[in-house]
Amino acid sequence: LAGLQASRRDPAFAAFRARLEAAGKRPKQAIIAVARKLLTVLNAMLRDAKDYATANP
């Protein structure tokens, strides 16, 4: 669900999902890829003790 919401509300994640779907990924595969990318971003935020920046997910 986090991947779905991220792809709906954040322009960078929405563009990432759209790019994956345009490349032939099924919608559920694209949402899972967004969720994995979201986890990577969150882990980097915790590691660096920084706030979220929408420009670089």
Residue located via tokens 């694209």? 30
Count of beta carbons in the 10 Å neighbourhood of residue 12: 16
Q: Domain map of the chain by residue range?
A: 2-48
> For residue 52, what pLDDT is reported?
86
Task: Write down the pLDDT at residue 13.
Answer: 95
Count Cβ atoms below 10 Å from residue 23 Cβ, excluding itself.
8
The model's pLDDT over 32-54, given as tens digits with 9 standing for 90+, comes to 999 999 999 999 999 999 998 77
Share of the chain above pLDDT 70, in %: 95
Longest C-alpha distance within the chain, in Å? Answer: 36
